[in-house]
Amino acid sequence: MTESVRRVLADPFSLGTDLVPWEPPAVPPDSAKLRAAKAELERALTDAPAAHVDWCLGKLFALPTRAQTPESAAYLAESFLDACGCYPADLWTSITTELLRTKKFRPSPAEFVELAEPKLAERRRMLERVRQMLDGVKPALPPKPEERPIPTRLGRLEHLRSTYERLGRTLDVERLDREIAAEKGDLGRQERMLTDAPDRRTENAPFAPADTAQNRRLAELAAAKRAAA
């Protein structure tokens, strides 16, 4: 976005360091510039690709740590994904670089979040201000915080497998392959249970309301099935 639009959208501060309420300018920027700024801010709020996150984690995990086991490293990698997986690629790059410059030991996810969250929150505020000026209406309530999706266990296992495969840790890859296969097997059993559920319900048809043609038909099928057995 242009520097003039950035100045319009930037957080206003008092003479100290307190953030004060933002007001749209009396003469807003050209609508074409606002639409371009909106598109740029939406891109700047997109989650980083998994490959880029892996690369940054590899850099951070190169820092020494006082206590290191394969299990603790795996748990720490999962914690980073849970707490920081929603951040865009440029924040992953800049904050990883900052941590490498300032930390002597491997940082925690909380240290990463402490640096990333204020920058991400400012981008959200700027995007909301662009939308206000494009719509020409002030919102009655502040925007709701963005909900972060909770990664599934299968997704975390597959992500760790790709990390270990890149690092050449074949034993960990083989172990995760077994865990992934077991997890997929559990999901398959759940799907089969859901598919078979209607057949089990037909056995309980006498306890269901019998005032519809569908329920009477289910009762007849259940009776025929018991007679055949």
Q: 62 vs 43, 54, 68, 111, CA distance in Å? A: 29, 12, 12, 16
CA angle 147, 50, 70 (to 5 degrees): 105
Predicted local distance difference test score (pLDDT) of residue 202: 44
Residue 216's contacts (CB-CB under 8 Å, 6 or more residues apart) are 210
Q: Is residue 221 part of a domain?
A: no
Q: Is residue 159 part of a domain?
A: no
pLDDT in tens, 197-224: 554 444 444 444 445 566 666 677 767 7
Q: Is residue 143 part of a domain?
A: yes
Token output for 27? 């003469």
Domain count, the chain: 1
pLDDT in tens, 74-116: 888 899 999 998 999 999 999 999 999 999 999 999 999 999 9
Token output for 72? 């603790």
Q: Is residue 58 part of a domain?
A: yes
pLDDT in tens, 158-204: 888 888 888 888 888 888 888 888 888 765 655 555 555 554 444 44
Give dist(CA 32, CA 4) in Å, integer.
13
Q: Which domain holds residue 106?
A: 3-71+86-151
Higher pLDDT, 114 or 20: 114
